Structure 1
């Protein structure tokens, strides 16, 4: 194998078309096809399936794609590390954020701190579900991800940041500052799908109390959830930061859940297979300092969600 063929292969899989990949790579399509054939010969495996709609990786191709992205990223980081010796840190750092987490509250302080301390570093923020973010970490598309992570994931290391309490949120018939889980079981609930960390924690709590939740609808979109709660059709359960944001948007109320109280651990996840680049490590250090010792501005942001 050589790096050029791996770059070609990754680009083909990313685009899903040999023709379009050839145009992007500025190489003739027959020459690109020959590079793929050579790679398949080296692997002694078919790597791509060609159809009228484009190309998709085989199972062997998917495995090679994951390793190829890691290899190419490590080479890029090695080159940057050598080039940055004795110089100001620069380059891109990619951070994944799970929707509705407290991490969104420190995004602006993080960007401001990076601009002040690392002016040549470009921060790329990507918001998605926890499972997608972990997949992108493993494939080398992200340097780190901040999310609610309750179970170990192969190839991923997690560093705890903080814990957030879960609150009941609604717009009608406020139960007061606190609400018993048994009372929540009597309400119409809008919750995310069962792969969500919030949903798993809520389902777990109901199961332990031998209660059955009245699920009115399953909604992953924060904007759609806000509209549903604002309509008064039901209530939802959210981490404190997301709860405060929804309350502000929908002019609603929030109540701490008791008997039992519920919380979720917020973590920063990293790929166990790839070391952070110097600039990514520097950004991570800033992120950790904002969580451990928040600035006044980030404290205010955390309070308003």
Structure 2
């Protein structure tokens, strides 16, 4: 199998247009079309459907796309490893990070620590949904992922690292949910409009379940996936959200939000390091995993301090 062709195929899928993909690859459109046709002949199935606007991926094409990403990543890792050599750990290590979680808060410290102590290791950090990340580990597209623990998933192992409670988060300039104190009830929270990720996200599923169990309705003003959009919207007072405090520290400055504990519900979940049960970690990946464990432990020990009091003071 020609991995170059796989790379071309991935680029076409990412861009969705053969002409623009050919331009980005600096080859002719006819040459790129021939490479795609060659792949389709090799696998004896149609991978792309041509449309007036570009191309769409078929079912077999989506499967090949997922495997191609893993194959290309391994090829890149091998090239880096063989190029660098030497005694220190070297190579490409891909780490998945769950969105709306403490993972965002350890990303920069992880990058800083690895660059400072292991300069021959090239980090690739990817943020996505927990379910996507666990499948990416299974397919070999990422070495490891720090994600919300989804429970048993065949083929991957989960090392539970920390457990956290979710809190109600409002903008500091928004009216207080309660006149005094830092605790709220679900009924008080139900009066608010919420900014949350889509229904497949762990944060959303736990939130919906808590309100449903209490016989209450959670009013969703908007579903937001990009974390920076969520941050700006909450600070602007466009709605409340629900997050673990470690994620609050990653996204917000202390004077931008207020955090409330739930007095009558415990929305709690665990963060886990997800790795493959079949494919052992490479030497550089083991090194990165060790650094990541240490950073998570620091977050757990340090807690989250400095966020605006909700007791009627500042």
CA separation in 2, counterparts of 1:78 and 1:239?
37
**Aligned with 2:166: secondary structure?**
strand
Give CA deviations for 1:97-137 in whole Å, capped at 9, x if unaligned. 33332222223332221122101223333334434545655
- CA change 1:14–1:219 in 2 (3 A) is closer
- CA change 1:249–1:55 in 2 (3 A) is farther
Aligned to 1:45: 45
1:162 Cα deviation from its structure 2 partner: 0.8
Conservation of the 8 A alpha-carbon contact between 1:70 and 1:140: yes
Conservation of the 8 A alpha-carbon contact between 1:18 and 1:33: yes
1:64 Cα deviation from its structure 2 partner: 1.8
Conservation of the 8 A alpha-carbon contact between 1:247 and 1:254: no
CA separation in 1, counterparts of 2:233 and 2:12?
41
CA separation in 2, counterparts of 1:15 and 1:233?
33
1:80-159 matched pairs, under 5 angstroms: 80-83=80-83, 86-134=86-134, 137=137, 141-153=141-153, 156-159=156-159
1:151-190 matched pairs, under 5 angstroms: 151-153=151-153, 156-170=156-170, 171-175=174-178, 176-185=181-190, 187-190=191-194
Indicate whether 1:215 and 2:219 are aligned. Answer: yes
| Equivalences, count | 299
Aligned counterpart for 1:241 among listed residues 229, 243, 246: 246
Conservation of the 8 A alpha-carbon contact between 1:191 and 1:199: no
CA separation in 2, counterparts of 1:61 and 1:78?
25
TM-score by length of 2: 0.77
CA separation in 2, counterparts of 1:146 and 1:179?
30
Give CA deviations for 1:3-60 in whole Å, capped at 9, x if unaligned. 3433333333333333344444454443443333333222221222223332332212
- CA change 1:213–1:226 in 2 (3 A) is farther
CA separation in 2, counterparts of 1:26 and 1:131?
35
C-alpha root-mean-square deviation of aligned residues, in Å?
3.4
1:194 Cα deviation from its structure 2 partner: 2.0
Moved over 6 A (4+): none
**Aligned with 1:248: secondary structure?**
coil
Q: What are the ranges of 5 or more consecutive residues in structure 1 without an aligned counterpart? A: none
TM-score by length of 1: 0.79
Conservation of the 8 A alpha-carbon contact between 1:164 and 1:239: yes
Q: What are the ranges of 5 or more consecutive residues in structure 2 without an aligned counterpart? A: 308-314
Give CA deviations for 1:61-112 in whole Å, capped at 9, x if unaligned. 2222222222333344345445555433334433333333222222333222
Conservation of the 8 A alpha-carbon contact between 2:97 and 2:126: yes
Conservation of the 8 A alpha-carbon contact between 2:81 and 2:90: no
Give CA deviations for 1:211-233 in whole Å, capped at 9, x if unaligned. 21241513425555455555667
- CA change 1:76–1:231 in 2 (3 A) is closer
Aligned to 2:288: 283
